[in-house]
Amino acid sequence: MRKQFRGVFTGVLFGLALSGTALAQGQTAFGPGEQARYRVHYLGVTAGTAQVTVGAPMKQWGKEVWPIVAVAKTDSVAGVWPIKDKFVSYWDFGAQRVLGSDMHEDENNRRRRVRVKLGEDGRSAHVVKQKEGETPREYDHELAEGTLDVAGATFALRNRALVVGGEYSYPVFTGSKSFLMKAKVEAKETLSTSLGKQEAYRMRVYTEFSGNLASKRDMVVWMTADARHLPVRIEADLALGSLVAELTGYEQGKAIAPAPAVASGTGN
């Protein structure tokens, strides 16, 4: 069972980057210091935790950004492969765009790093991949105009006025491949959560991750229907098994004045 955990928690990070950063809507509910904590279940068994934090402003590539940090780790349980992975997306709040990201993988004491820097024109990306103790490998990719990373697409999506039946799409680059991320709001439901009963939107999200992150069906995300759009539950059926993340704690960040919506993408 230990080997089955390899790559699965990386899937959690992408899932939480996809939904956890939904908190960044340019609304007053969002800001540095915001934190959401999740309990992760794999194949029906409690396997670990994940946390999404909006960090304090910092400089990255000469610009001031907010780091959106997602960390996932397994519990210290016999038979579970030790994993602690971190995904950081650098959000330029002023320009309402993501500048790039860093992925740090630590799985069974084997470490790897992937850095993605998006071009200013949104049509290119420079990628650096490095396994611990090995020489970095660098790649340049041409992208469709307006391409975002997963977190950036989510920022754009959450800037939209979500309605039941609404469909939305954004071009996404993962660091290895490009695809069109599609999301559809299927319904508004009452969901029991750690914060009590919540009115939530059920959203089906289509992605094209490959390998261990490949999904057998679309990811399903529930977000509160209030101004926070707080993700409270995520379900994913990955190549290595089913995974569920449920909210266990939430702390609101610094209030920030609304910002203009990101124009990229299409939707009803």
CA angle, 105 then 71 then 32, to 5°: 130
**What residues are paired with 173 via a beta bridge?**
178
Q: Tell me, what's the pLDDT at 19? A: 43
Tokens for 171, please give them.
């071009």
Pairing status of strand 84-92 against strand 110-118 = unpaired
249 contacts 37 by C-beta, under 8 angstroms? yes
Q: In 3-state terms, what secondary structure has residue 22? A: helix
Tokens for 141, please give them.
């990719």
Q: Which of 195, 207, 184 is nearest to 232 (CA)?
A: 195
**What residues are paired with 46 via a beta bridge?**
41
DSSP state of 75: -
**What residues are paired with 124 via a beta bridge?**
142
Residue 263 CB: number of other CB atoms within 10 A?
9
Write out the chain's pLDDT in tens, 268 residues. 344 444 444 544 555 554 444 434 444 445 788 888 999 887 777 878 888 888 899 999 999 998 988 888 887 654 456 778 888 988 887 777 788 999 898 877 789 999 999 888 778 999 999 999 999 999 999 998 878 777 677 666 666 778 999 998 888 888 888 888 888 999 999 999 888 999 999 999 887 654 444 444 578 889 888 877 788 898 887 666 678 889 999 888 776 654 444 444 445 5
Pairwise CA distance, residues 52 & 30, whole Å: 13
Q: Tell me, what's the pLDDT at 6? A: 42
Pairwise CA distance, residues 212 & 204, whole Å: 20
Q: In 55-193, where do the E strands start and end?
A: 58-60, 63-74, 84-92, 97-107, 110-118, 124-131, 137-142, 167-173, 178-193
Q: Tell me, what's the pLDDT at 18? A: 46
First-residue to last-residue Cα distance in the chain: 43
Q: Tell me, what's the pLDDT at 261? A: 44
